[in-house]
Amino acid sequence: MTAQKRFSYPGAIDADGHILEPPDLWEKYIDPQYRDLAIRIRPNADGLEVWEVAGRPSKFFRPGQLVQFGAMGKDEAELTPHPDRTYLNTAPFGAMYPKERLALLDQEGLEKAVLYPSLGLAWGAEEVEDIGLQGAYARAYNRWIIDFCADSGGRLVPIAHIAMGDPQEAVRELERSVKAGANGAFFLPFTPT
């Protein structure tokens, strides 16, 4: 892949870098007692991907719509749901693998990227009402993003996802994530009512 450097400023940082989480992140990193409710991507009867959250299809994403998470630079035809277009095979370079992200930083002339989720922004309280499951999803993501960034020499900066449904758990997870290597945290500005 060839790309021109967009920045020529020493020390330039992508302060709002988003990654595409691998489809098996939550199955691999979630607390064992929540594994049956892990976020999953599965094909439906038409071969289109369905995003499963909390053990059921997403309330907000139609079958085949996940390809839109990797939409930057793509035309409408490339984003039209089709069994051959999957979340995984349409992910842009640098969106899902740490070595690619480091290469992308080099191509763009950036020193670092502060990383946030993409799918993780979409499973909030409207999708997941169970406060325990919210915490489990956040912990799974945090374990993964810290691992994702671990071998980057500090160039990929992990930001923890904090679920706010249980304030004591939120504090514990923030402390745990920072000790494990997160350099900050974000939370979605809503909780179940």
Q: Any idea what the CATH number is for the domain that residue 92 is in?
A: 3.20.20.140
What's the confidence (pLDDT) of residue 84? 92
83 within domain boundaries: yes
Residue 109 lies in a domain: yes
Mean pLDDT score, 120-139: 91
The reported pLDDT for the residue numbered 5 is: 53
pLDDT at position 74: 76
pLDDT of residue 156: 98
Q: Is residue 191 part of a domain?
A: no
In a domain, 58, yes or no: yes
Q: What is the tally of structural domains in the chain?
A: 1
Res. 4: pLDDT tops 70: no
Average pLDDT score over residue span 12-31: 96
Any residues with CB less than 8 A from the CB of 25 and at least 6 apart, and which? 39, 140, 141, 144
- Domain membership of residue 151 as a residue range: 13-186
Q: Is residue 159 part of a domain?
A: yes
The more confidently predicted of residues 81 and 180 is 180
Report how far residue 34's alpha carbon sits from residue 36's, in angstroms, rounded to the nearest whole number: 6
**Per-residue pLDDT at 193:** 43
